[in-house]
A and B are shown apart, each in its own frame.
Chain A
């Protein structure tokens, strides 16, 4: 069978069938050592990841970590300096157009034509992906049902609310039944209700078997919708796994969240010296500490705060989560 795979199999369905026989699943997206430089700065540094059918893979990292650049490399919007990308078994270098046809791209900003109607926008984008006639019409109806905009199909997009535009933005990426859906921070600037609806849709698409690459800097989103998470910081993928696998790295740790005022810089410096504190991050009035056995360390933390000139207004001890993992790995908080 392996010989057959190497010698005679050419089409995607051939490869899939052969792999099914072997019990091997072909990743829908496979990136190996992706690298992109902008001058001296390395925006994406040797990132490797795979996403399988039915899997939602989250790229979690703060702003400027390299999430969007990675996505633009995957979607062919940026030329990579090094590395390989395979989409649904198709090497992008050999057949970029076929590979692109299997990707649904949902950009971070709403990328729609405000002077066209909802339906006209979908028709245009569908036609770019070679959908025509009844097939296109049927697919538009299906997508409008998914994003719950069927009753607004003939309204101009400039009359939509921000949340509706976001949903349509996602719908435009789904039209051609992509094997891989790439979503770049789809909930930024969205009201809670629309955000919930978007996350529901993403989970539903994952359950239906679509491979999803999802970038976010919201830890809660990554925890809710992603089967696996890759933590990216300064262009490098520093950890990868399921939520359970990642959190298990810091099982002994809790996260202490303080709200404080006063000399927080001095407090941050002093807190790093406390035995049992493995990471400290200050964002505005919020101080995050990664601590072993938080309940034991907490009195010392409060004492150090007082001595440093910081006035603590509230304290919360949080169970280990991805935020704590990020703090553990990078020494900074996700939203810095």
Chain B
């Protein structure tokens, strides 16, 4: 084991002198995470500008206009009154507005008379989510109006005197549909964009060390230094352990440095340090196993390069390092859990939102360790054929 530490120390010393390794291990993950956070900063809180064209002077139109500016929608929409439907449509096309409502003439009268009436929603294909939200707002208002009408009709049918119609209508408008969808996030905190991209990029760039170990191994073979090590009184497995041990230290140091700097200077939430360290260690062990696999299956430096890149990008795409897994189809969400980085990311995000405490990280940590054992086991079996003289 001592000789393995000697080999790992030498590898790390060489890596520290290699600026590209420092760039990939430290500067790149922080830079990319910061850039992505900046690019998607508005994704933390969705907000839209809507226009409203009120052509009806009735009380329902006024109620709709008032509702848009009410406390429930204040954080979601900013309302801009627009003179006519044509101007509203132009502003939606120009993206000055994300969507617009048109309350037509006689909307109130037709509604109260039981005639078909509609609120038009103008939306753009370039702002589909805004269009969907605007439609949901209009539908919600229509549902409320229909509920009011239904309650009045029910009262009249039950024998309420016609003289009380106005009073009933007034009372009905004060009522709200009792079943409301209320959002209860499982985490105590909302996930900030940087809290997603910091771990995603830390893991992604740590995965690159899979190729480092392989390239170093084959460079040593090319330069003859591997022969020098093999001629020393070492078991072949000691050389492999030394090589991958340096990968463990490098990837762990890289991830923990990104944790520290993104937390201190970019405001990323990481949760408790115990859980973060446990996830980083487990992820580093998975990377170690992948490094060993690349070393024992590749035959040349070029194959290491190709195999390493395939592994890194496949895992990154499947595990959700580029696109948040929650935005992916159900199948991909399940596939993500076949990857160690998918589990690591899930663990980090749960820690960041408070959905999972350090004590509840057993599942992601054990999953990553199982991955490391299976992949590392394959590498060890294969290493006897590859490394023995």
Interface residues of A (CB under 8 A from B): 72, 75-79, 97-98, 100-101, 103, 105, 107-113, 115-116, 120, 124-125, 127-130, 172
Asked if B10 contacts A105 (CB within 8 A), the reply is no
| Contact call B224/A111, Cβ cutoff below 8 A | yes
CA gap between A89 and B235 in the complex, in Å: 21
B389/A111 in contact, CB under 8 A: no
Contacts of A127 in B (CB 8 A): 3, 6
Counting chain B residues whose Cβ lies within 8 A of the other chain, the interface size class is 20 to 34
Q: With A79-B388, A115-B14 as given contacts, are A97 and B235 in contact (CB-CB < 8 Å)?
A: yes
Question: Do A115 and B17 have beta carbons less than 8 Å apart?
Answer: yes
A107 touching B14, Cβ below 8 Å: no
**B232 contact set on A, CB distance < 8 A:** 100-101, 125, 128-129
Q: Across the interface, which residues of B come within 8 angstroms of A77, CB to CB?
A: 227, 230-231, 389
Chain A residues near B114 (CB-CB < 8 A): none
Closest Cβ–Cβ distance, residue B223 to chain A (whole Å): 6
As a 0/1 sequence over residues 1 to 28 of chain B, the CB contacts with chain A under 8 angstroms (1 = contact) are 0110011001001100110000000000
A-B contact pairs, 5 of them (CB 8 A): A72-B227, A76-B230, A101-B233, A111-B225, A124-B10
Flag whether B36 is at the interface (Cβ < 8 A): no
Q: Is the CB of B6 within 8 A of A107?
A: no
Are B389 and A79 in touch, CB under 8 angstroms? yes
Question: Complex Cα distance A61/B60, Å?
Answer: 106
Complex-state Cα separation, A77 to B224, whole angstroms:
11
Q: Is B86 an interface residue (CB 8 A)?
A: no
- Quote the shortest CB–CB distance from B158 to chain A (angstroms): 91
- The reply to whether the CB of B234 lies closer than 8 angstroms to some CB of chain A is yes
Instruction: Verify B224–A109 contact, CB threshold 8 A.
Output: yes
B184 within 8 A of A: no
Inter-chain contacts of A172 with B (CB < 8 A): 228
User: Number of contacts between A and B (CB, 8 Å)?
Assistant: 69
B-side contacts of A78, CB under 8 Å: 389
* A128 touching B3, Cβ below 8 Å: yes
Complex Cα distance, B236 from A79, in Å, reads 13
A107-B10 contact, Cβ under 8 Å, with A76-B231, A100-B232: no
Across the interface, do A128 and B389 meet the contact criterion of CB distance under 8 Å?
A: no
CB distance from A176 to the nearest CB of B (A): 9
Given contacts A107-B228, A115-B17, contact A128 B235 (CB under 8 A): no
| A-B pairs with lowest CB-CB distance, top 3 | A111-B224, A105-B231, A128-B232
In the bound assembly, the distance between CA atoms of A120 and B11 in angstroms comes to 12
Q: Which residues of A contact B227 (CB under 8 A)?
A: 72, 77, 105, 107, 111
Query: Across the interface, do B231 and A120 meet the contact criterion of CB distance under 8 Å?
Result: no
- Is A120 a contact of B13 with CB atoms below 8 Å? yes
Chain B residues with Cβ under 8 A from A108's Cβ? 224
The answer to whether A116 touches B389 (Cβ under 8 A) is no
A97 to B234, CA, bound (A): 7
| Cβ contacts under 8 Å, A128 to chain B | 3, 6-7, 229, 232-234
Question: Are the CB atoms of B235 and A105 closer together than 8 Å?
Answer: no
Q: A74: nearest residue on chain B (CB-CB)?
A: B231
**B18 to chain A: closest residue by CB:** A115
Closest Cβ of chain A to B297, distance in Å, is 21
Residues of A within 8 A of B7 (CB): 128
How far, in whole Å, are A105 and B226 apart by their CA atoms in the complex? 12
User: Which residues of the partner chain A approach B389 to less than 8 Å between Cβ atoms?
Assistant: 76-79
Which residues of the partner chain A approach B228 to less than 8 Å between Cβ atoms? 105, 107, 111, 125, 172
User: Interface code B191-226, partner A: CB below 8 Å = 1, 0 otherwise?
Assistant: 000000000000000000000000000000001110
CA distance A8 to B227 in the complex (A): 36
* A100-B10 contact, Cβ under 8 Å, with A105-B228, A109-B224, A111-B228: no
